[in-house]
Amino acid sequence: MQFPAGFLWGSATAAHQIEGGNWNNDWWAWEHQPGSPCVAPSGDACDHYHRFRDDIALVASLGQRVFRFSVEWSRVEPEDGEFSAAALARYGRVLDGCEQHNLIPMVTLHHFTTPRWLAARGGWAAPEAPARFGRFAGRVMAALGARIPYVCTINEPNIVAVFGYLAGMFPPGARDPERYAAARANLLAGHAAALAAVKSGPGAAQVGLTVAMQEFTPVPGGRRSAAGFARLFGAVIPNTADGALALAEAGRSAWHGPYLDAVRDDGSDFVGVQTYTRVRVGDDGVMDPEPDAELTQMGYEFWPAALAACVREAAARTGKPVIVTENGIGTDDDGRRIAYTDAALRGLHQAIADGADVRGYIHWSTMDNFEWALGYGPKFGLVAVEPNTLERKPKPSALWYGDVCRRNGLDA
């Protein structure tokens, strides 16, 4: 089962989840505030900020071709309009490492974290947020753009908007429909501003927006759940008696539809699909997984078929080439990680055979890391990180995935 020639195989990280010591952003403040919903602070994370050379060498040794990482805005612009040449130079050294080991860098400009100075003004609900983000993107590109072939502007803006401004689960912890509407609009405007900055050069990076997607499965006759998994999506999906088919479509339209529609004609080069599971929708709202369903450490249903479904939808709705910029599973059972990824890739292969233009698959994540409010519990990594020594230990899944990358395919 061969994938197209030049297919991008790699794994993904995010600055706050692996670098450590990112104290100047909204997430660090959120982790440390009294009564924080986070089970643990990020702290040193994986100390990737200092260990990046070894980590990049490890990724290359495992057969991967792409290393996705984010540039931490709060390091580069620690105060409004004050830019750090030292921070930009450090990310330049990350690019040096990628070049040394023949890895293709894929750079994310915003991966959930926002500088404290902007958070104090309202974060993504603040009127100046899009322009400030565009200015930051321009500084990054001016310093590094000639060396960056792929840019993701904003990671999962729908998660940032819903969880931060409507469901109260991410900073700033708001449950305010008006602030949510402002944040959603500003995130899309911020993407547009960053897109313009990237296209202005230097360099000729391929640029896209990454969108959190789910497969919405209608369950006629099913009844909505009051808590648990349903809480994650109930904030934006109506609890009505419209029927399962109509509500599943409403879920797609509310959750990721505006972001897919926004990139259709915006001049971006690809859309990034990020998916892990499905959402079951009954006749009157979102349902939890079935009682006997296999669940991951995130409480998600083990559902690798979501990848092909979401890729097909993204390709059809946007008309853009697709890069799978995140897909994976939180589990302590590495055999299930292999099983999940194998099934997801087989579905992806079939979607490509059916005509979807898919350019790559970037696994989440390179290593076990800080999983936001859930701390260091969920294990998504291909590489384990020993908590006390921070020693990296590739898992069997890393070796299996490396073989897939080298072969550019799977056994039939």
pTM of the predicted model over 0.75: yes
Confidence band (pLDDT; 50, 70, 90) for 239? confident
Give residue 171's pLDDT.
98
Cβ atoms < 10 Å from Cβ of 161 = 27
Residue 156 among the catalytic residues: yes
Mean pLDDT of 290-316: 97
Among the options 72, 77, 156, 371, which is catalytic? Answer: 156
CA–CA gap between residue 203 and residue 158 (Å, rounded): 28
Phi, psi angle pair for 352, to nearest 5°: -65, -45
The proportion of the chain whose per-residue pLDDT surpasses 70, expressed as a percent, equals 100
Helices marked H in 33-146: 48-61, 73-76, 85-100, 116-119, 129-144
Give residue 229's pLDDT.
64
Among the options 72, 77, 326, 371, which is catalytic? Answer: 326
Give residue 326's pLDDT.
98
Indicate whether 234 pLDDT > 80: no
Indicate whether 236 pLDDT > 90: no
CA–CA gap between residue 12 and residue 258 (Å, rounded): 25
- Over residues 168-195, the pLDDT tens digits come to 999 999 999 999 999 999 999 999 999 9
| Domains of the chain with CATH codes | 8-206+327-407 (3.20.20.80)
- Over residues 365-386, the pLDDT tens digits come to 999 999 999 999 999 999 999 9
- Encoded tokens for 223: 């009844």
Confidence band (pLDDT; 50, 70, 90) for 238? confident
Mean pLDDT of 282-297: 94
Indicate whether 127 pLDDT > 90: yes
Query: For 201-206, which contacts have Cβ atoms below 8 Å and span 24 or more sequence positions?
Result: 201/141, 201/145, 201/146, 202/141, 202/142, 202/145, 202/146, 203/141, 203/145, 203/146, 203/147, 203/148, 203/149, 205/141, 205/145, 205/148, 205/149, 205/150, 205/151, 206/149, 206/150, 206/151, 206/269, 206/270
Mean pLDDT of 325-353: 98
Mean pLDDT of 261-267: 97
- 29-60 burial: b if 16+ Cβ within 10 Å, else e: bbbeeeeeebeebbeebbbbbebbeebbebbb
Confidence band (pLDDT; 50, 70, 90) for 235? confident
Which residues, in sequence order, are CB contacts of 369 under 8 Å at separation 6+? 13, 14, 17, 18, 45, 46, 376, 380, 381, 385
Residue 326 among the catalytic residues: yes
Q: Is 292 exposed, middle or buried (0-12, 13-18, 19+ CB in 10 A)?
A: exposed
For all residues of the chain together, what is the average pLDDT? 97
